[in-house]
Amino acid sequence: MEMAEEIQYLQRELSRVRNYLFRLEYKVFKTQQKLMGRTEEQRIKRLEAELKRKYPDATIDRELLSLVGTLPNIPRSMERQALAEAIAEKYGE
């Protein structure tokens, strides 16, 4: 095989592998989205139940709960680290 043919072959293989990796990353992303959606919904339900126990006469706005989030508070001293970890988890290091 000539050098030029080998380079063309390797470029085609590289393109094929890149396409495969892209499809695989997309599947991982979609799976994570589904999982996060279910997890967030579970958190909202738990928080709603907790608020109803503490404040039985209060009206709970589920849309507001999802807007403000349901994760526990992070100490101010750890906000930067938590943000860096969230970005790394979402977009890779």
pLDDT number for residue 59: 87
| Residues 67, 93 contacting (CB under 8 angstroms) | no
pTM comes to: 0.41
Average pLDDT score, the chain: 81
Domain boundaries, the chain: 3-91
**pLDDT in the model for residue 43:** 80
pLDDT digits (tens, 9 = 90+) for 41-65: 788 888 888 888 999 898 888 777 7
Task: Say which residue, 73 or 23, is predicted with more confidence.
Answer: 23
List CB contacts of 70: < 8 A, sequence separation 6 or more. Answer: 40, 43, 44, 46, 47
Q: What is the pLDDT of residue 45?
A: 85
Supply the pLDDT for residue 1.
66
Percent residues over pLDDT 70 in the chain: 85
